[in-house]
Amino acid sequence: MDKIYYELLEQAKEASKKAYAKYSNFFVGACALFESGEKFCGCNIENASYGLTICAERVAISNAIANGEKSAIKAIAIYSPNQKLCFPCGACRQWLSEFATNDDIKIILEDENDIKVQTLKELFPCGFKLND
């Protein structure tokens, strides 16, 4: 397994410690690697109005965009101490699709004994795209 996947997962673990999850107590961290080589992390941020909650993956991507990142996502690690194999929700899969060059980006998750790596295409085979 590629060493960078383990590094991204460790950074996602650290990010999960910063989550604001006072309603669900479900902590999530994410760390996204971009084609530029830059990494950006995020954690979930809940709100009393649950629909306003934002997932760790979208916070990581927003952090990248806010910091001027222009390249596409290459890989993202997602971690929760509450659940192994913490897959991205549908909204996050769409966001990943928006900021990826193709659907082969790697989704890195912690499994029981190691890590699991899947492509976005495997998790989200029919993402919405506007015609360019």
Model pTM?
0.95
Residue 59 lies in a domain: yes
Closest C-alpha among 7, 9, 54, 51 to residue 30: 9
Residues β-bridged to residue 54 = 45
DSSP for 74-93, please give it. Answer: EEEEEE-TT-SS-PPPHHHH
Number of domains in the chain: 1
Buried b (16+ CB within 10 A) or exposed e, 16-44: beebebeeeeebbbbbbbbeeeebbbbbb
pLDDT score, position 67: 98
Task: Please check whether residue 56 is in contact with residue 28, taking contact to mean a CB–CB distance below 8 angstroms.
Answer: yes
Residue 56 lies in a domain: yes
pLDDT score, position 82: 97
Alpha-carbon dihedral of residues 27, 75, 63, 65, nearest 10 degrees?
-150
Closest C-alpha among 63, 80, 75 to residue 16: 80
Residues β-bridged to residue 39 = 33
Q: For the chain, what is the largest distance between any 2 Cα atoms, rounded to a whole number of angstroms?
A: 42
pLDDT score, position 55: 98
CATH number of 108's domain: 3.40.140.10
Q: Which of 46, 57, 69, 110 is catalytic?
A: 57
Residue 50 lies in a domain: yes
pLDDT score, position 130: 85
pLDDT score, position 112: 87
- Point out the residues of the chain with pLDDT beneath 50: none
Q: Judge whether 69 counts as a catalytic residue.
A: no
> Which domain, by its residues, includes 58?
3-123
Residue 112 lies in a domain: yes
